[in-house]
Amino acid sequence: MSQDPKDPRMSGRIAMVALLVCFALVAVMVVIAG
């Protein structure tokens, strides 16, 4: 992973993926708890 961290599109993609992963984890927790 030698991507240039100064690329705004890559940073936005990483942020979006992180947000989706967090949402997925919360959904799984709700399913397991409920």
Express each pLDDT in 1-34 by its tens digit: 556 656 778 888 999 999 999 999 999 999 999 8
Token code pair at residue 33? 């708890």
Q: In this predicted structure, what is the pLDDT of residue 9?
A: 81
SS3 letters across 1-34: CCCCCCCHHHHHHHHHHHHHHHHHHHHHHHHHHC
Q: In this predicted structure, what is the pLDDT of residue 20?
A: 98
Contact indicator for 11, 5 with CB cutoff of 8 Å = yes
Closest CA to 13 of 33, 21, 29, 28: 21
